[in-house]
Structure 1
Amino acid sequence: MANRTAIDYRAKFDRYSEDTCFPRLGEEEQLFIRGMAEAHRFTFQELRQVSEAALDLRMWKEASLGIWWERQESDVEARGRTKERFFQRLDDRMAALRASAKSYPEEGMRRPESASLKPVTMSSERDILGMCPVASEETVCCNLRTIDAVQNCGMGCSYCTIQTFYGDRVTFDADLPAKLAAMELEPDRFYHIGTGQSSDSLMWGNQHGLLDSLCDFARAHPNILLEFKTKSANVAYFLRGSPPANIVLSWSLNTPAIIRNEEHFTAD
């Protein structure tokens, strides 16, 4: 029975791990986490937490999760409740690192290899218009809405979660023109709409008629302000043509140290 239970959990682990950062870890890190998960029956949320911590530790050039645990293990196991204490100490470790002074090597962090994203065009029933994800009754909201015309980004910013959501492909909505044309907006109401929530707004240029469709949408609705938020310098489309007056291009800027070390493929 115990062997059957172990086999069942391994199958569950394989399903869990596909939706976490686990596949992006090195072999040694994966072996350690898999061993801990099987020994202590990690839940999906626990597996995700540990995988993200391992990825952060590697990125911060700290001791790996396995090495850190070797220093903790004998003391924790002697006290009992190993799993509970493991996560408590891991939380404390990560919190201490996040609160510590930040520093980068003088020569800068090594730039990772550029992600090889496969462009695909797909039709779907997905609603492309939504509210800003941080909007809630507990925030002072600017009522920003977002159009998710493209899913995934190739800028490779180390702090950004977009690259963990969409795998190894960048998806263009084949029905974007029709969805924009069918969008019902109140003509006497002002709307601020952004396009940089699920991807960089300008990284892909006018591939698949992306910017044509969005600019046509802005022209058809003079009561909106359509914002293209980007970290690229890909503005040639707007310089060549006659863009509508109710669009704005915006750049989110960081300090030179963050740009050099964390925003790997953004504009210089």
Structure 2
Amino acid sequence: MDSLKALVQFFTQEGKSYRLIEDKDEMNQLAGTIHHEGICMVSKTRPMMTLHELFEQETRRANANSTPPKTHSTITSPIISKEPNRNPSVLDRPIIVVLDNMEMDNVGPIIRSCASFGVRTVISLNQSLLSNGESIISPSRYLTSRGAMEYVDIVETPSITKLGDILMEFKVYGWEIISIIGRERNAPLSIFSDDSIKSLGTKPLIVLLGSDGKGISSTLLRLTDKDIHVPSYVINGGLNASQSISIILSECWRLHGRK
């Protein structure tokens, strides 16, 4: 109870109700899971932006782009250490990650990587999920993201046409679109090549990421400026989507620190 003292004081001061539950089975029933760590809250659904609201937000950020400090270390950078959850120096250079019908098991780790490397916005294209009235934002995926969903704006769309239209608008404004794929498509660039470095370290960037099973749809692939892969021995299929995006965003972080 001592560990929740500050939270209870906050609820008391704000006039919010709370209840102490001693019975473990009752707590499991209320939470709908055994993975609640002894606390459960009822909260409002987080509002979600539209694609056009996302476009306006990200183009404003791109126009206000400024050069970050060379040091991105959360240990040595005085800017980041003041606000460790936001990594503000990286956020000046916008990056959007687009998930094309991503497997749900990958979503939480991908969002966690995005938040870790300063990506504010993720777009999820998933026709089957949304047609069933579901969302990639769920308690289980909050858990696997380790709370990172609180720091990333997630926009969901079932329409590949609308997504393609908004990506074309970004291109008109000078954004570069890259796809993260395997070696099999038209000799994609290595993440460590000179051409990849120019994309990953400079312009406002949109990163397309497909599912492990089906990859990126041909409709979206036609919009890309570069296809990039992460070199590996390709043992048992190589890296999965969440591992690949972590490496890509880490390289973006490292390269942008040079500018």
Bigger Rg over Cα: 1
Tell which has more relative contact order, 1 or 2 (C-alpha 8 A, sep 6+).
2
Task: Tell me, yes or no, whether TM beats 0.5.
Answer: no
Q: TM-score, length-normalised on structure 1?
A: 0.28
Q: TM-score, length-normalised on structure 2?
A: 0.29
